[in-house]
Amino acid sequence: MATYVLAIGSNLGNREQILEKARDLIHRKVGRLEKVSSIFETAPWGNENQPAFLNQVLSGQTSYAPKEFLRILLQIEQRLGRVREEKWTPRLIDIDILYYEQLIVHEDDLHIPHPHLQDRKFVLEPLAEILPDYIHPVSGKTSLQLLAEVQDKLPVAKYKPLGKLSLTK
């Protein structure tokens, strides 16, 4: 079994429900979830002219090799309505492989660790929440160290769904 770490995000439709469906499909199709971060609401990165995202980081175990793992994740995205047209546009679901063990892969269709994870506060906040001491295999830095050094200043906040707020005193 191999340890995987994923980032999932949505900024269209019922974002909470889509993340829930993604978590369920990932758990059932690629391997048991072991750690799940809080959900964070974040400003869009790369193209700021779109709705805010809900983002989350997941960690678990899989028996699939990296290429097959990616293939199944892409199928999950497609099943949940993801249409890939261009980078950094609004989307129902986005699933990114952050880490797969301590593997380093640079291929046309697969990059592990994710090449931009150290640049994105919206990934580092939830990553540091569930795996604060995880070592980036290229930089040798922990999730907490990467978060402390990130230059990204876009807002990232724990998500509080409106339906769960209490209006009583």
DSSP string, 60-118: EEE-S-HHHHHHHHHHHHHHTT---SSTT---S-EEEEEEETT--EE-SS-EES-TTGG
Which amino acid is present at 143? S
Domain over 2-160 is classified CATH 3.30.70.560: yes
Catalytic residue flag (residue 108): no
Summarize pLDDT for 84-143 with one digit per residue, the tens: 766 667 889 999 999 999 999 999 999 999 999 999 999 999 999 999 999 999 999 999
Q: Is 120 a catalytic residue?
A: no
Known active-site residue 82: yes
Catalytic hit among 15, 32, 91, 109: 91
Catalytic entry in 71, 96, 133, 152 = 96
In the chain, where the domains are located: 2-160
pLDDT tens digits, 53-95: 999 999 999 999 999 999 999 999 999 988 776 666 788 999 9
The model's pTM is 0.91
DSSP-assigned letter for residue 134: P
